Amino acid sequence: MDQHLKKKSVLFMMLTLNVLIVWYYVFYKSSFGTTFYYAIHGSSSLMNLADKKKSLSINIQSDAVMWTTHPVARLGNKMGEYAALYALAKLNGHQAYILPGMHNELGRIFKIKLPVLHQDVADRIKWRKYNLKDWMLPEYSNISGQYVKLFGTPCSWTFYHHIREEILQEFTFQDYIKEEANSYLANLKGNRTNVTFIGVHVRRGDYLRVMAQERKGVVADKNYMQKAMDYFRNTYDNPLFVVTSNGMDWCKQNINTSLGDVHFAGDGKEGSPAGDFALLAHCNHTIMTIGTFGYWASYLVGGETIYLTNFTLPDSPYLNIFKYEAAFLPEWIGIPADLSPLLKK
């Protein structure tokens, strides 16, 4: 009988100890500003407890400053949002976090390293919403607030070019994507020697409507493509153009293939852009038209880039939120668009 009571006493003490440990971390620790012990996605088994028991109160009372960004739009825009968040948080001396939606898309493609803030925690924070323009402004170096969420779709080297190598590291491709892209290009090269790969991105799709109806602008035409490709043909001995687009039929009808140096790649599906993007980014140089997808491919490649410039009329409302000099690096080569179709209307 005494032995049985002794065992029950030991079990009771162990149970009491476990309860005290859980109470300490869930309530005491969170009350004194160390909620980050389990606020970061995957950082603690207690996060799983919070997932399963939605009634668990998570109080963010830490003295630490948290910055994040509101992820919107597609791949190129999200890369711009990530890079601006990374650079501005560092400039202001704070830690940046990303939300699961951004991590789910970018993390499949790149080896991004910013910690992920669990959505259940993010939803309980009273964020200060801070709207960004598309280019860097002096006041962005002194943004106040403990919990700051950046809004907007900035895509300008002016935010982060001073830490270019760090940004390139963040956008290091996952190994399997890198291997697939290199294998594709190697097979494309075949027995050719001294090949220079020129990645070509032709943005069409919704931009046909947006540029004509909303921005008083144009997309790249046949003459632009010819001029851009001729530049590389005159500069390099064995260029091989790898064309990706969300308007591949137009490309096949309007790009000169008579020299046998053009390859149409990808499936043109905007819902699965990783393959096309990786091909462009593993080329040596780039021809882009307009859009953030082509911009980021060019930025990661780091070679010569030709882009479409002056693609809007001077009175375009788009110029209120867009600056050519902030969107394209100074060393890139701009070929002016033909605006005559707009002038005839």
In a domain, 246, yes or no: yes
Residue 5 predicted with pLDDT over 90? no
Assess whether 316 and 192 both reside in one domain: yes
Assess whether 229 and 315 both reside in one domain: yes
Q: What is the pLDDT of residue 267?
A: 61
**Location of structure tokens 């976090």:** 97
Q: What is the pLDDT of residue 73?
A: 87
> What does pLDDT average to over the chain?
85
Q: What is the pLDDT of residue 344?
A: 75
Q: Does an H or E element contain 201, and which?
A: strand 196-202
Taking alpha carbons only, the member of 114, 113, 153 closest to residue 135 is 153
Assess whether 233 and 334 both reside in one domain: yes
- Does residue 302 come out as left (phi exceeding 0), alpha (psi in the -120 to 50 range) or beta? left
Residue 154 predicted with pLDDT over 90? yes
Assess whether 200 and 334 both reside in one domain: yes
Q: What's the rounded Cα separation, in Å, for the pair 318 and 94?
A: 32
Q: What is the CATH number of the domain that holds 304?
A: 3.40.50
In a domain, 256, yes or no: yes
Q: What's the rounded Cα separation, in Å, for the pair 202 and 223?
A: 13
In a domain, 57, yes or no: no
The tens digit of pLDDT for each residue in 194-223 reads 999 999 999 998 999 999 999 999 999 999
In a domain, 210, yes or no: yes
Expressed as residue numbers, the domain containing 113 is 66-165
In a domain, 60, yes or no: no
If one compares 344 and 108, the residue with the highest pLDDT of the two is: 108
**How much of the chain, in percent, has pLDDT values that exceed 70?**
79
Assess whether 243 and 102 both reside in one domain: no
Final residue of a structural domain among 146, 165, 184: 165
Assess whether 211 and 314 both reside in one domain: yes
pTM over 0.85: no
Mean pLDDT computed over 239-254: 95
Assess whether 194 and 308 both reside in one domain: yes
The tens digit of pLDDT for each residue in 13-34 reads 555 555 444 444 333 333 333 3
In a domain, 58, yes or no: no
Q: What is the pLDDT of residue 39?
A: 45
Mean pLDDT computed over 123-148: 94
The tens digit of pLDDT for each residue in 164-181 reads 999 999 999 999 999 999
Assess whether 84 and 38 both reside in one domain: no
The tens digit of pLDDT for each residue in 56-108 reads 333 454 567 799 999 998 999 999 999 999 999 999 999 999 999 999 999 99
Q: What's the rounded Cα separation, in Å, for the pair 78 and 69?
A: 10
Assess whether 190 and 336 both reside in one domain: yes
Q: What is the pLDDT of residue 65?
A: 79
**Location of structure tokens 């004509």:** 212
Assess whether 328 and 188 both reside in one domain: yes
Assess whether 302 and 252 both reside in one domain: yes
Final residue of a structural domain among 115, 141, 165: 165
Which residues does 195 contact at the CB level (< 8 Å), separation at least 6?
Answer: 189, 238, 239, 240
Q: What is the pLDDT of residue 51?
A: 39
Final residue of a structural domain among 144, 165, 186: 165
Assess whether 48 and 80 both reside in one domain: no
Number of structural domains found in the chain: 3
Mean pLDDT computed over 115-138: 94
Q: What is the pLDDT of residue 273?
A: 84
In a domain, 170, yes or no: no
Mean pLDDT computed over 270-285: 88
Q: Does an H or E element contain 243, and which?
A: strand 239-245
